[in-house]
Structure 1
Amino acid sequence: MSSAVDTTQPARRSGQALLVWGLLVVAANLRPSLTGVGPLLDRVQAGLGLSPAVAGLLNTVPLLAFAVVSPMVPRLAARRGPERVLAGGLVVLTLGIAIRWIPATGSVFAGTVLVGAGIAVGNVLLPSLIKRDFPTKVGLLTSAYATVMGGVAAVASGIAVPVSEVVPGGWYAALGCWIVLALVAIVLWLPQLRTPPPVPATVRGGHRLPWGSGLAWAVTAFMGLQSLGFYVIVTWLPGVVQDTGLSPAEAGWLLFLFQVVAVLTSLVAPAMLRWARDQRAVAAVNSLIMLVGYVGLLTAPEWALVWTIVLGLGGGACLVLALAFLGLRARDAAGAGALSAMAQSIGYLLAAVGPVLFGLLHSVGSGWRAPLILMCAAAVGQATVAMVAGGGTVPAADDHRTPDHTPSPAR
């Protein structure tokens, strides 16, 4: 008996380590194909002869793809198995990057749609897989993959222009270079395809989304509002601070600083999750930190460096919390997948509207006051829903009992 244990335990640990590496490399692919577009947008616009409005759609289309594709993922995972569906998402992402490498308007937009669809699959399934395979380490592994995701995203935005200036092909080669990382993810994920497909009786009803749960809607609102804040910042922070006298290059470095601070903050998030009995206070406090950053930009924009750091501190923590809620608020892996699909579908739809509305308010009001007041209101709303989203358990979609709001322990 002991020899059997001795031989299976190392194999099990090796399999778990390979799974963790696979999840982290998948996470590394969930943002660089998006954050690498913004710095190159003027070059893409000039190269394809696009109007500013049409070029701006390259940042909006992936978020709309998230909203459309996310609700479909739990049903596919229930039928085919999450490992196979995630592998399919990686293939779609790789194909999208390859198509976007072709310097033609139709190819760039078609590839962007596929990139968004492939990333949406990973967005939904990573919380579900972590909940299923590492139920006692949800907070730790969520922080790890959020850190990897944010770190690679920051690098992508920082190297996009330099790469476009040194590689043959310019901007479209800079967009296409991320195919290498996507291919690495596919190779590392192949061992997971040995997992048997799900038995129908064990997954029946697991794909239904919890539309009737107030707690699920609170988690969705928190996810949407923090996503709205992130995409408004990465889209408009350079414009806001340039009006204080900073050069475009200095504004770009501030945006990079925001992302770096957010990544560093995400490293501290597991300690916050372990310290808190539930996550209500932690989520509300970090949402209010975001409010301080917006109020600072509104009232003392000349201190933009300070407010950028403040926004990074709050934003990095809120991202990890939003992702952790998808596992911590769910009863099981199927519930985490369903909650993830709902929260990310509605959440990214809200995020897609945010930068457009922010820019519209700026155009109508000829200043940043009205847009920044909007973000202050969004931060207040985020802090409010945090007091619900930070505790309790979302009931199964086919469970008509009153939702359980008993605080669940941080993992």
Structure 2
Amino acid sequence: MPGGNRLLLAAVLLTAVNLRAAIAAVGPVLDDVRADTGLSAAAAGLLTTLPVLCFAVLAPVSAAAGRRLGAGRAVLASLLLLAAAQALRVLDGPPVLLAGTLAVGAAMTVGNVLLPAVVKAGFGRRAGTVTGLYTAALVAGAAAGAAFTAPLAAVLGWRGALAAEGVLALVAAVVWARAARGADATAPARTAPGGAAPGGSAPVWRSPVAWAVTAVQALHSTLYFSLTAWLPTLLADRAGTDAATGSLAASVYQVLGIAGSLLVPAVLARARGQSGLALGVAALWVVPVAGLLAAPGAWPAWAAVGGLAQGAGIALAVTLVVLRSADAGVAARLSGMSQLVGYAVGGLGPVVVGALSEATGGWTVPLVLLLAVGAGLAAAGVAAARPVRIG
């Protein structure tokens, strides 16, 4: 790999590490945050919900920023905003904390949307492999945020621990500043009125394959956020586990996502198509959901398989954006579309699952619903895996 590409790869991976860490870091210190600031339970929930809402609502804005500023400059600006927001949000009470969290979500959204376009244009035939690597870095960042925040808080307090996450963003910004010129060369092309690219290619919103890719993102996100939110509670209710065991299960689920995300490039390197991979990812999701329904006492196995599923699922969703796009401009628009719809739908998953559990007094109906979502993911994955280029 040429030196310029190595520098760009380092910038992409370091950026990816930052795209979930600030969200995952909140959970381990949430009790301290509430005790210190007086946040209600509902307001505390916004510390993780607001960034996810940004992923959906601000995805088209991020794609537009990439077209106007260039991908490199837009991502660099987002990293600087991310570092500043993580430091500033801990300086005062709830209003500043929530406003800073909103800025954190906005900054992360830019990277979410533009990195697939940068990878598409910058790595050619290696784009699938690089996509797998950066999704692995993304999952690793979330796992590190969840693992190291509590020990840091024991030394620095919760404010110092959350602010320290911004150092990672500054490191990424330094590397990205050197790689930004090459990344700007890969900036998405400007679109004509109505969303079409110059030359008259149809907008992604009218493409059946684009909708299939978007459905993969939405259904995977529904499964991921639902289990992320409810796995400890579900195990306590169905398997009689205590809080420490629930925390262990959640940690296994997050950490094994790293291995799951690395499965996708490994399989793609040997496969002639993506249909079998899509079915395999859907199966990885169905197994733990069915296991929690039928044999919750075997939770270590279901947490492990679920971890593989969530890592492989996000890698598949991002890889399909890259592989189905004819160029970097289409990749940016498809990324924006899939994240707008996907995160909006996925963000509702925990709400619907929780409401069904409360309404039915148990977890059978919610788990059956998630099984149906897994089946839908299989169908959407096969449709999205067709060898068709959008644009």
Normalising by structure 1, what TM-score?
A: 0.88
2:222 partner letter: L
Whole-angstrom CA distance in 1 between matches of 2:307 and 2:323: 24
1:97 and 2:86 are equivalent in the alignment = yes
Cα 1:345/1:174, change in 2 over 3 Å: same
Whole-angstrom CA distance in 1 between matches of 2:187 and 2:16: 28
Deviations 1:345-404 (A, max 9, x none): 1111112111111112222222222221221111111111111011233432xxxxxxxx
1:311 and 2:306 are equivalent in the alignment = yes
Partner of 1:281 in structure 2? Answer: 276
Q: CA deviation at 1:63?
A: 0.9
Equivalent positions of 1:140-289 (< 5 A) are 140-167=129-156, 170-195=157-182, 203-205=190-192, 208=196, 210-243=204-237, 244-289=239-284
Partner of 2:29 in structure 1? Answer: 40
**Which protein is bigger by CA-based radius of gyration?**
1
SS in 2 for 1:275: coil
Partner of 2:99 in structure 1? Answer: 110
1:371 and 2:360 are equivalent in the alignment = no
1:61 and 2:61 are equivalent in the alignment = no
Identity of aligned residues (%): 36
Whole-angstrom CA distance in 2 between matches of 1:103 and 1:14: 44
Residues 97 and 175, structure 1, Cα contact 8 Å, conserved in 2: yes
Q: CA deviation at 1:288?
A: 1.9
Whole-angstrom CA distance in 2 between matches of 1:373 and 1:172: 40
Cα 1:104/1:285, change in 2 over 3 Å: same
Whole-angstrom CA distance in 2 between matches of 1:340 and 1:199: 15
Residues 80 and 198, structure 1, Cα contact 8 Å, conserved in 2: no
Whole-angstrom CA distance in 2 between matches of 1:83 and 1:332: 17
Deviations 1:277-322 (A, max 9, x none): 2111211222122111101101111111111112122222222111
Partner of 2:200 in structure 1? Answer: none
Residues 215 and 392, structure 1, Cα contact 8 Å, conserved in 2: no
1:297 and 2:286 are equivalent in the alignment = no
Structure 1 segments, 4+ long, off by >4 Å, are 195-202, 206-209
Q: Which runs of 5+ in 2 are unaligned?
A: 197-202
Q: CA deviation at 1:341?
A: 0.6
Whole-angstrom CA distance in 1 between matches of 2:255 and 2:84: 29
2:177 partner letter: L
Whole-angstrom CA distance in 2 between matches of 1:115 and 1:196: 22
SS in 2 for 1:203: coil
Higher helix residue share: 2
Whole-angstrom CA distance in 2 between matches of 1:202 and 1:159: 40
Q: CA deviation at 1:247?
A: 2.0
Whole-angstrom CA distance in 2 between matches of 1:138 and 1:15: 15
Deviations 1:212-233 (A, max 9, x none): 1111111011011112211222
Match of 2:316 among 293, 310, 321: 321
Whole-angstrom CA distance in 2 between matches of 1:202 and 1:334: 5
SS in 1 for 2:91: coil
SS in 1 for 2:292: helix
Match of 2:75 among 74, 86, 108: 86
Q: CA deviation at 1:194?
A: 3.5
Q: CA deviation at 1:136?
A: 0.3
Residues 95 and 114, structure 1, Cα contact 8 Å, conserved in 2: no
Residues 72 and 187, structure 2, Cα contact 8 Å, conserved in 1: no
Q: CA deviation at 1:186?
A: 0.9
Residues 118 and 187, structure 2, Cα contact 8 Å, conserved in 1: no
Whole-angstrom CA distance in 1 between matches of 2:277 and 2:310: 12
1:370 partner letter: V
Q: CA deviation at 1:183?
A: 0.6
Match of 1:130 among 119, 138, 141: 119
Residues 269 and 320, structure 1, Cα contact 8 Å, conserved in 2: yes
1:359 and 2:354 are equivalent in the alignment = yes
SS in 2 for 1:393: coil
Residues 74 and 341, structure 1, Cα contact 8 Å, conserved in 2: yes
Whole-angstrom CA distance in 2 between matches of 1:199 and 1:270: 22
Partner of 2:331 in structure 1? Answer: 336
1:71 and 2:60 are equivalent in the alignment = yes
Whole-angstrom CA distance in 2 between matches of 1:111 and 1:202: 31
Q: CA deviation at 1:275?
A: 2.2
Residues 86 and 121, structure 1, Cα contact 8 Å, conserved in 2: yes
Normalising by structure 2, what TM-score?
A: 0.93
Cα 1:358/1:13, change in 2 over 3 Å: same
SS in 1 for 2:171: helix
Cα 1:205/1:199, change in 2 over 3 Å: farther
Whole-angstrom CA distance in 1 between matches of 2:80 and 2:57: 18
Partner of 2:377 in structure 1? Answer: 382
